[in-house]
Amino acid sequence: MAERIKVLLSEEEVDARIKAIGEQISRDYAGRQVHLVCVLKGGSFFMCELAKRITVPVSLDFMSVSSYGSNTKSSGVVRIVKDLDEPLKDKDVIVVEDIVDSGRTLSYLLELLGQRGPKSMRLCTLLDKPERRVVEVKVDYTGFEIPDEFVVGYGLDYDQRYRNLPYIGVVELDGE
């Protein structure tokens, strides 16, 4: 079945919002250094754009996790596929994610990373689907709250495709 992508958030809207979050973070962390932790692969496009907009000193690290259980419903218990290169001890950490959905993955991950002794830890997500929340997660910086629709682009995939779209879109199947 052919797929079409309907634009939900244009490239201009996404870029403008990321610039604003970067400015907000720069104000909030004035005089400090921020350590951005990217959750691969989805968070990578957002983190790169965000990092370019932050004017305080920035360091970056990456981790990759995979969730146990079925593919459609995340159990929240994650296995670390690639761990961070650097310790988090005494760092001002911002975890950068593409989307918070049920919240299961992130609540588990934040708990895990919190045990490594960061000086502070905040969460920044490009997208949030609050209607879908099952586990409460405190989000400090949100790009956009979106309705309960499956979205792609800007790092988000549908079966590993569409991550490279410079906008956020909804997948529509022809014949629907």
Residues that bind ligand IMP (CB under 6 A): 42, 74, 76, 98-106, 150-151, 156
Range list of β-strands (E), the chain: 3-9, 34-40, 58-67, 78-82, 92-100, 120-128, 141-145, 151-152, 168-173
Catalytic residue among 90, 92, 98, 101: 101
Q: How far is the CB of 11 from ligand IMP (least distance, A)?
A: 18
Confirm whether 101 is a catalytic residue. Answer: yes
- Residues of this chain, 92-111, that bind Mg ion according to CB under 5 A: 98
Q: Is the Cβ of residue 29 or residue 42 nearer to Mg ion in the bound state?
A: 42
Q: Of ligand IMP, Mg ion, none, which one sits near residue 103, judging by CB under 5 to 8 A according to partner kind?
A: ligand IMP
Q: Is the Cβ of residue 25 or residue 100 nearer to Mg ion in the bound state?
A: 100
Binds Mg ion by CB under 5 A, chosen from 22, 42, 76, 103: 42
Q: How far is the CB of 27 from ligand IMP (least distance, A)?
A: 27
Do 113 and 143 form a contact (C-beta atoms < 8 A)?
A: no
Burial 129-168 (b: 16+ CB within 10 A, else e): beeeeeeebebebbbbebeeeebbbbbbeeeeebbebebb
Q: How far is the CB of 30 from ligand IMP (least distance, A)?
A: 30
Q: Of ligand IMP, Mg ion, none, which one sits near residue 68, judging by CB under 5 to 8 A according to partner kind?
A: none
The Cα-based distances of 158 to 71, 165, 170 in angstroms read 12, 12, 10
Both structure tokens of 1: 């079945």
How far is it, in rounded angstroms, from Cα 43 to Cα 105?
A: 13
- Footprint of Mg ion (CB under 5 A): 42, 98
Which residues are catalytic, by number? 101
